A and B are shown apart, each in its own frame.
Chain A
Amino acid sequence: MATKIKRTLLYIALTLLAICCMIPFALMIINATRTGSEIANSFSLVPGKALADNWATLSSYFDLFKGMRNSLIVAIPATLLTAYFSAMTAYAMTVYKFKGNKLLFGVIVVFMMIPGQLSLIGFYDLVTNLRLVNSYLPLILPSIAVPGTVFFLRQYCETVLPMPLLEAARMDGASELHIFHKIVLPILSPGIATMSIGAFIGNWNSYLIPLILLNSPDKFTLPVMIASLNSSTDIMRNQGAIYLAVAISVIPILIAFAFCSKYIIGSITAGGVKE
């Protein structure tokens, strides 16, 4: 009996904690439908009727859908490049014996430890010298080389790739690239999918690098656009519009999470936990 009561208390505590994780988003969605003065006067869990007005206010400041499109233009190619080239590199490091393999692995491990901000200044300097400021290329191209993803997929290759199958394909005269595309990629796809979701969310949410590289508002990605709310003081008076802007930036991720939370959770432990 005591066990039963304690268990119930545990569930209540857990549910309260879960509510703590959700309530800011709930308030965000509710407040997005209320007028600025309603929000300023009292708090409510009942949605208001000002959604359309807030939307009109918001869209007079900027085009959030454009920001979303810009974010997709960066995040989709970046994710695809990470997925394809990480798999290719990891595969080559696992199945071929070549000079420099160990060195490459060592460098990858070291760069996984190096904090990203260390290279921020040098990276900006490089982009300036290449005259690529305000271009999406320096946001996309570096995704070809993501050490953490290669590190994970290399381990993954070691556990899932059936060497005899590859050998058999080679005997049949299949070219190495053909083997990679037709046999290796499909076998690796669960691991690649896991890493890709993580990569996509990382790219979609990225703020600091786009902030320093993009300087024309029509190129702003969604986080940079949302952050530019800070400087437009007029809109700060209308909290409803701010909540709406934040809600629009958050809802796609919430929807994505509802459908593939399993993969997302899988991607967290993939990088860290080793047997």
Chain B
Amino acid sequence: MDKKIKPQKKKDLNRTAYFFILPFVITFLVFSVYPVVRTLYLSFTDYKGFGVPDLTWLDNYARVFKDKFFWRALFNTVRIWGVNIVLQLGLAFLLTIVFSDIKYKVRGLSIYRALFYLPNLIAATSVAFLFKTLLDWKYGTVNQMLVGSGLMNSATNWLGSTVTAPLVVAVISAWMWFGNSFIMLMAGVQGINKDYFEAAAIDGAGRWKVFAKITVPLLKPILLYVTITSLIGGLQMFDIPFLMCGGTIGNPSGSTQTVVMYLYKFGFETNQVGFASAIAYALFMIILVLSVLQFKWMNKKEK
């Protein structure tokens, strides 16, 4: 009797599978796949947000390529991300060394971890307003503290100079994300087989040697993951500079204008939708190339 039921049952089960994945597939096609394809199509047109788009093929891409403001925005974004990732990973790495040290056995990992992670939970809009107000040139608390304690002679216009404004954005980003990176690295360390450490201890290896020869090489995949996700996220930076530095202009004099702010300007402020779509794809290409390069580089170093 069993044998009779089985083929029929199997067919039913397959049908159930399709029934189970159907909501996901439909939603995914409509809200994820279609917009990606539609953006690609619009990037080949002169679409202005209304009417029928006319195909202009690669015109928008040629314009992106020649547009010095696009390159400036890309440079700004990479510069902010670069400073941020050095601070963020450097700090996370340092903390990982401290908490995985076998000599000092620092306690309280879960409490510190939670506190370090806290800034990441807060909405970027709230963070932006909080710091914009704290860093206010004339009335901001930060300047009051620095001048009051004698660390600075006069108030600094943090968001008013082309040097400090991108730096402020980078430091805030690092502040928001170092806890996240630390948690990832620490999870990696805890995932390393204890046998390695014991074997090293028996062989009489010092703690720095253990760190350099065992911990770091085994952390490499996670380091790669953290850096790539940070890169993909960082190149899409928008909220913080947009809200702290005067909208899509990126004050002062465009020094904090990121690629997505530039995209937003054309897509939603001046309605050059086709051009904005081409910017989106140009950014995607850059992210793709950088991710592949980074992946190859990290793998090569391992050998």
Residues of chain A touching chain B, judged by Cβ–Cβ distance below 8 Å, are 3, 6-7, 10-11, 14, 17-18, 20-22, 24-25, 27-28, 31, 39-40, 42-43, 85-86, 88-89, 91-93, 96-98, 101, 104, 107, 111, 113-126, 138, 141-142, 144-145, 147, 150, 176-177, 180, 201, 204-205, 207-208, 212, 222-224, 226-227, 229-230, 239, 242-243, 245-246, 249-250, 253-254, 257, 261-262, 264-265, 268-269, 272-273, 275
Contact = CB atoms under 8 A, between A and B. Distances in A.
B53 to A, nearest CB: 10
Nearest to B119: A21
B27 A145 contact: yes
Interface residues of B, number: 92
A116 B12 CA distance: 37
Interface string B37-81: 111101000000000000000000000000000000000000000
Contacts of A93: 21
A222 B40 CA distance: 32
Chain A CB within 10 Å, residue with most, of B39, B42, B131, B284 = B39
Contacts of B148: 42-43
Given A39-B139, A96-B16, A141 B284 contact: no
Contacts of A22: 115, 118
B245 to A, nearest CB: 11
B31 A145 contact: yes
Contacts of B30: 126
15 contacts: A10-B106, A21-B116, A24-B119, A31-B133, A43-B141, A119-B38, A121-B38, A122-B34, A122-B39, A142-B31, A222-B123, A229-B129, A246-B130, A268-B180, A273-B222
Contact of A114 (B36, B38, B175): B36
Contacts of A268: 117, 180, 183-184
B273 A275 contact: no
A229 B128 CA distance: 11
Contacts of B125: 205, 207, 223-224, 226-227, 249
Given A122-B34, A124-B267, A145-B23, 13 more contacts: A10-B106, A11-B106, A14-B106, A40-B138, A42-B144, A114-B284, A119-B32, A147-B32, A208-B239, A227-B243, A230-B247, A243-B130, A246-B126
B23 A120 contact: no
A98 B14 contact: yes
Nearest to B246: A230
Contacts of A10: 98, 104, 106
A116 B28 CA distance: 13
Nearest to B50: A128
B129 A242 contact: yes
Nearest to B187: A269
6 smallest CB-CB distances across A and B, nearest first, come from A122-B35, A122-B38, A96-B17, A92-B20, A119-B35, A122-B39
Contacts of B175: 20-21
A117 B260 contact: yes
B169 to A, nearest CB: 15
Contact of A123 (B35, B98, B130, B225): B35
A208 B258 CA distance: 14
Contacts of B180: 268
A97 B15 CA distance: 10
Given A117-B280, A126-B38, A226-B129, A145 B24 contact: yes
Given A22-B115, A104-B25, A89 B291 contact: no
Chain B contact residues: helix, strand, loop or mixed: helix
Contacts of A145: 23-25, 27-28, 31-32
A15 to B, nearest CB: 8
Contacts of B284: 114-115, 118
B89 interface: no
Chain A CB within 10 Å, residue with most, of B38, B113, B125, B232 = B125
B42 A246 contact: no
A122 B235 contact: no
Nearest to B41: A122
Contact of A122 (B20, B37, B122): B37
A24 B130 contact: yes
Nearest to A125: B38
A144 B23 contact: yes
A272 B222 contact: yes
B298 interface: no
A43 B187 CA distance: 39
B191 to A, nearest CB: 6
A86 B27 CA distance: 12
Given A92-B17, A118-B281, A269-B187, A205 B123 contact: yes
A21 B118 contact: yes
